[in-house]
Amino acid sequence: MAHDHSQAGHAHDHTAGANAKMLGWALALTSIYLIAEVIGGIVFNSLALLSDAAHMMTDVAALAIALMAIKLGRKAPDEKRTFGYRRFEILAAAFNAVLLFAVAIYVFVEAIKRFSEPQEIQSWGMLIVATVGLGVNLVSMRLLTAGKDASFNVKGAYLEVWADMIGSVGVILGALAIRFTGWTWVDPVVAVAIGLWVLPRTWILLRDTTNVLLEGVPAGLSLKEVWAAIGDVAGVQSLHDLHIWSVSNDEVSCTVHVVLEKDATAEPVRQTVLEVIKNHFDISHATIQTEETGQSCEIDQSHR
């Protein structure tokens, strides 16, 4: 049985360090603005501002959890957690998605109340606060852009900041509409629109993180294609117990039992299998167990 470990761990440490720094800056900016937006929403009586503040609160939580997850994820494996702590990043991203769903429900309920009981809105104050928020969101998005494709955790934080940016634009447009038309119902409409804009992206994040937690085959990989590629390797008679999963979104693992042809030599076949799954599928962490023809085992042909 053989294991192949690439330099991905060192690359991850470097990437995680850069992500942690950017997350720290984004967290500081977002936290300061959150306080200002809550005060503004209460003073100017704007549900749209409070809705945006609620999403901003999830941003702060997302960024704080993401930062903590990266720091915990860099801890070395130990006797209790042999894969280390990187799965915490996925748990954090899933928690953020659930939190966003909860905020959306709250906003919808409050919006229904405001449709039946319109309230006076101070549009100029609402406009000023939302404009400042837009600037904060743009800066935070810029900070998180580089790491969003390398980490579910950073991607979750990026999506929340991105949603808030759209929310800030909506609040600005709503404030202008209220100012020049007097239509106070625009405020809850904007609040609901923000929620509807966020939910599909939140669902995608929750779906992807759940797949990792269930140790499903990572997106973009086909179990049948990997099965076929290994089966085509010279010296491989058959294979079984093929499993592909990921601990986090950037490190895919694979285990498989390979039954050798009668005259095949184990080590060359094993090395070739490792090269095939590395070069064709970018799977760098693999455990390949070879078995002689006729060795007692139950061979699963379901993926043939």
Please tell me the predicted confidence (pLDDT) of residue 151: 64
| Residue 275, pLDDT score | 92
Task: Compute how many other C-beta atoms are within 10 angstroms of the C-beta atom of residue 223.
Answer: 13
Q: What is the pLDDT of residues 198-242, one digit of tens each?
A: 777 778 878 888 888 888 888 888 889 999 999 999 989 889 999
User: Are 101 and 142 in contact, with CB atoms under 8 Å apart?
Assistant: no
For residues 145 and 158, the answer to whether their CB atoms sit within 8 Å is: yes
**More confident: 3 or 237:** 237
- Whether 261 and 282 have beta carbons less than 8 Å apart is answered as no
Q: Which amino acid is at 205?
A: L
From residue 80, alpha-carbon distances to 73, 77, 85, 88, 116 in Å are 15, 8, 10, 14, 55
Q: What is the mean pLDDT of the chain?
A: 77
Looking at the predicted structure, is the pLDDT value of residue 9 above 70? no
User: Structure tokens of 260?
Assistant: 């050798």
pLDDT given for residue 249 in this prediction: 62
Go through the domains of the chain in sequence order and give each one's CATH number: 2-213 (1.20.1510.10), 223-291 (3.30.70.1350)
- List Cα–Cα distances, 221 to 44, 123, 240, 246, in angstroms: 51, 50, 18, 11
**pLDDT of 5 above 60:** no
Q: In this predicted structure, what is the pLDDT of residue 303?
A: 42
Q: Are strands 236-248 and 2-4 parallel, antiparallel or unpaired?
A: unpaired
How many Cα atoms sit within 13 Å of 227 on the Cβ side?
15
> What's this model's pTM, rounded to 2 decimal places?
0.62
Predicted local distance difference test score (pLDDT) of residue 250: 64
What are 34-73's pLDDT values in tens digits? Answer: 888 788 878 877 777 776 777 677 678 777 877 777 777 6
CA–CA gap between residue 9 and residue 15 (Å, rounded): 10
Beta-carbon contacts of residue 270 (< 8 Å; ≥ 6 apart): 2, 258, 288, 290
